[in-house]
Amino acid sequence: MSTIDASLTSFIDITPDSDFSIHNLPYGIFSDTKDAAGNNKRRAGVAIGEHVLDLSVLETEGLLTLEGGSYFDQPTLNAFIDSGRDNWTQARTTIQTLLSSDNDTLRDNADLQQKALFKQADVTMHLPVRVPGFTDFYSSKEHATNVGTMFRDPNNALLPNWTEMPVGYNGRASTVIVSGTDIVRPSGQLKPNPDDRPIFSACKRLDFELETAFVVGKGNHIGQPIAVDEASDHIFGMVLLNDWSARDIQKWEYVPLGPFNAKTFASEVSPWIVTMDALAPFKTACPTQEPKPLAYLNEKASNNSFDINLSVELLPENAETATVLCETNFKYMYWSMAQQLTHHTITGCKVEVGDMMGSGTISGPTPDSYGSMLEIAWNATKPVTLKGGETRSFIEDSDTVIMKGYSEKDGIRVGFGEVRGKVLPALSFDFDFDFDK
């Protein structure tokens, strides 16, 4: 496990509760919001306190030189990630050095600071990677047990395969979106009355799913699985993920092949990718796995998870303050990211740099740690009272859902920022189309 060098500080003023300490340095893609010249070019940066450090400027100035060429004056991070772990390590070390309080290269150069440092409030964040593929797992035992208890047999809440393998499905990479994107309430087939035919309607049970996702940093060849003890070498970093869910659409459509339209309309991620190097000091063990996994899933590493505090807040329109709906932790996840990636590739599936793989809803052992409204309001039987007196069983139009996450140890904080999305009303449909026009 990596240790934290508490003596490492930045010349930039950073509050103790900032997610973006010099020990973090997450990568993102940004453009200027307030550039008078109209320069909205996307390029790479890292978050440091309330600022963004423009890595393309450091490259141009010859202060950030990596093997294989230039990587940061580009609209995605894919090329940099694909360049390999040696470059990841060198970039992180160089950036930390330039931002440290005892290095004068950037600290004492006002002109360079003016070119390279931007207030986060003055930039627009974009999706950090091109996402070739998106996968969503179902790896929280508490969440799977809650859902199975609600909709199946409480005494047999988990299906027989759940404790044998990381269950998942392939989703839509095209609707992975960045935090701050408004969510249009989806419409589709619902079946409110089991004795009647389905109806077409706007979703009435819109939900969030508190998740993280890891970003694939190294692919494989088709037909060649990734070994579980090598899987961590294929993971670049993590983001927060709100994998929005239309529960009533899903209930009707998911038998026999699983979620489809209920999960394709929006998978919303935080803009900053927190690297596995930054998270290394916060490693911890996964829960005990019984039965012991099959050999291909049996990890040698004991610290195969991470201590990441997670929370969800709901902010109704015109409300003064948000209500905290849940607080949980990534360490409750039953299946590790390495096991997920290995199982994903065990049949020979090819994964690519930039692929995102969602954890599945992260729920803890107590009601205040459940990671979805389905669980928190227990399928609408226990509505939640918000600050101000309103109640919620599911997410309503004009509600904003805010997810946050951070790790903290020895006074050092490494965080993700937030993923935030506001729900807009469903579209109006007129099905009397005239196809001759």
Positions marked catalytic? 143
Going through 49-99 in order, the beta strands assigned E by DSSP cover 51-54
Helices (H) and strands (E) in the chain, counts: 10, 26
Q: How far apart, in whole angstroms, are the C-alpha atoms of residue 405 and residue 327? A: 10
**First-residue to last-residue Cα distance in the chain:** 65
The reply to whether omega before 256 is within 30° of 0 (cis) is yes
Concatenate the DSSP letters of all residues of 183-239 into one string: EEPPEEEE-SSTTS--EEEE-SSEE--EEEEEEE-S---TT-PPPGGGGGGGEEEEE
Say if CB 10 and CB 48 are below 8 A apart.
Answer: yes
Q: How far apart, in whole angstroms, are the C-alpha atoms of residue 32 and residue 49? A: 18
DSSP-derived 3-state class of residue 283: strand
Q: Are strands 356-358 and 134-137 parallel, antiparallel or unpaired?
A: parallel
| 342, two tokens | 């290995």
Q: Quick one: 151 exposed, middle or buried, by C-beta within 10 A (0-12, 13-18, 19+)?
A: exposed
CA distances for 149 relative to 140, 145, 200, 378, 381, angstroms = 14, 6, 28, 10, 14
Q: How far apart, in whole angstroms, are the C-alpha atoms of residue 74 and residue 29? A: 9
Backbone angles phi, psi at 130, to 5 degrees: -75, 125
> CA-based angle 148:172:143, to the nearest 5?
20
Q: How far apart, in whole angstroms, are the C-alpha atoms of residue 419 and residue 209? A: 12
Q: Quick one: 174 exposed, middle or buried, by C-beta within 10 A (0-12, 13-18, 19+)?
A: exposed
